[in-house]
């Protein structure tokens, strides 16, 4: 059965001490609550090991290298990420695609390395405003999925979590309507079913990301093909993150 997941993405925010304190505070605040989803914290690289040992909550890196090891100054490999205790790695975030030139071909390599090191990729896909206005959003999302993920075996694909994040909704306050999000999630699930079969598609967690918060999470998460969220801004404060987690 597919899992409900609410994953925070801190991006380049919080120093190490703030990150560790946040993780402990979140864990304390969640203790005793009956959670209907897995909670994941996506931290900068330098926080990973400390946060992973300070909390039982699942931890995600926000990136990993497209090379296994060697002379790549400044890069952090999937094996290094896995050695910290992180369970997930966010790959293909639109900020990585836009600001750091990550292509489908690069992301394909990152996905393979993440899986080879026992990490589950939270793989981000989504169209820009311009692409939606040109009615190209389904084609873009399909291309991003096919190019980076459809070389995988069914067994490996079943370790992938998809995050549909319309670029025009990230950090803008312009959340996709639940109808727009559900329509795209159903399309993504059908695209997966066409390649890997209905069972694999039904078991794939597909998260929504883009200005999700405590005010809209419940409506989004009630949609049949939305299995949780990738949360940026609203994951930076415990008081704002908990209502999203409680959207389930
Ligand atoms: C994100 O960065 O993945 C994201 C969805 O950000 P925000 O929630 O701030 O739109």
Q: Can you give the CATH number for the domain in which 112 is found? A: 3.20.20.70
Does the beta carbon of 120 lie inside 6 Å of ligand 1?
A: no
225 pLDDT exceeds 90? yes
Residue 130 inside a domain? The answer is: yes
CB atoms inside a 10 Å sphere around CB 172: 12
Rounded-to-integer distance, Cα 115 and Cα 79, Å? 10
Active-site positions? 93, 165
Per-residue confidence band for 1, with pLDDT thresholds at 50, 70 and 90: confident
Residue 65 inside a domain? The answer is: yes
Under the phi-then-psi rule, with left for phi > 0, alpha for psi from -120 to 50, and beta for the rest, what region is 200?
alpha
What are the pLDDT digits (tens) for 106-149?
A: 999 999 999 999 999 999 999 999 999 999 999 999 999 999 99
* Inter-CA distances, 26 with 39, 51, 81, 241, 242, Å: 10, 11, 22, 9, 8
Averaged pLDDT for residues 199-219: 98
What are the pLDDT digits (tens) for 175-184?
A: 999 999 999 9
Structure-derived torsion over alpha carbons of residues 106, 151, 156, 207, reported in degrees to the nearest 10 = 70
Tokens representing 23 are 């993780």
Which residue, 222, 218, 214, is CA-closest to 242? 214
Rounded-to-integer distance, Cα 43 and Cα 167, Å? 20
The percentage of the chain sitting over the pLDDT mark of 70, rounded to a whole number, equals 100
Residue 101 inside a domain? The answer is: yes
DSSP element (H, E) containing 103: none
Does the beta carbon of 165 lie inside 6 Å of ligand 1?
A: yes
231 pLDDT exceeds 90? yes
Predicted TM-score of the model (pTM): 0.98
**What domain range includes position 132?**
36-169+187-208
Residue 122 inside a domain? The answer is: yes
Does the beta carbon of 230 lie inside 6 Å of ligand 1?
A: yes
Per-residue confidence band for 215, with pLDDT thresholds at 50, 70 and 90: very high
Does the beta carbon of 170 lie inside 6 Å of ligand 1?
A: yes
The percentage of the chain sitting over the pLDDT mark of 90, rounded to a whole number, equals 99
Contact 124, 91 (CB under 8 A): yes
Nearest CA to ligand 1 atom 4: 232
Tokens representing 219 are 């409506």
Task: Report the number of distinct structural domains present in the chain.
Answer: 1
Contact 242, 6 (CB under 8 A): no
Averaged pLDDT for residues 64-82: 98
* Inter-CA distances, 75 with 5, 93, 164, 172, Å: 28, 17, 26, 29
pLDDT recorded at residue 218: 98
Per-residue confidence band for 209, with pLDDT thresholds at 50, 70 and 90: very high
Give residues with Cβ within 8 angstroms of 33, minimum separation 6.
Answer: 246
Rounded-to-integer distance, Cα 235 and Cα 237, Å? 6
Residue 192 inside a domain? The answer is: yes
HSE toward the beta carbon, residue 31, CA cutoff 13 A: 8
Which residue out of 232, 240, 247 has the highest number of ligand 1 atoms within 8 Å of its CB and is therefore the one to mutate? 232
Per-residue confidence band for 56, with pLDDT thresholds at 50, 70 and 90: very high
- pLDDT mean across residues, the chain: 98
């Amino acid at each position: 059965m597919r899992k409900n997941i609410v994953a925070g993405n801190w991006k380049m925010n919080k120093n190490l001490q703030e990150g560790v304190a946040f993780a402990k505070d979140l864990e304390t605040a969640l203790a005793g609550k009956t959670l209907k989803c897995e909670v994941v914290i996506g931290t900068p690289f330098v926080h990973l090991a400390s946060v992973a040992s300070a909390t039982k909550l699942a931890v995600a890196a926000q990136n990993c290298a497209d090379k296994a090891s060697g002379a790549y100054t400044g890069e952090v490999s999937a094996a290094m990420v896995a050695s910290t205790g992180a369970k997930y790695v966010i790959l293909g975030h639109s900020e990585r695609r836009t600001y750091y030139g990550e292509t489908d071909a690069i992301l394909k390599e990152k996905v393979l390395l993440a899986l080879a090191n026992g990490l589950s990729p939270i793989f981000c896909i989504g169209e820009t405003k311009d692409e939606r206005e040109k009615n190209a959003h389904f084609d873009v999302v399909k291309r991003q999925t096919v190019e980076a993920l459809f070389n995988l075996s069914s067994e490996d694909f079943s370790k992938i979590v998809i995050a549909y994040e319309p670029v025009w909704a990230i950090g803008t306050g312009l959340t996709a309507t639940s109808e727009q999000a559900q329509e795209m999630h159903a399309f993504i699930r059908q695209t997966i079913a066409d390649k890997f079969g209905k069972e694999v598609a039904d078991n794939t967690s597909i998260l929504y990301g883009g200005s999700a918060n405590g005010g809209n999470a419940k409506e989004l998460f009630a949609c049949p093909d939305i299995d949780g969220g990738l949360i940026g801004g609203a994951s930076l404060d415990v008081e704002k993150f908990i209502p999203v987690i409680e959207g389930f």
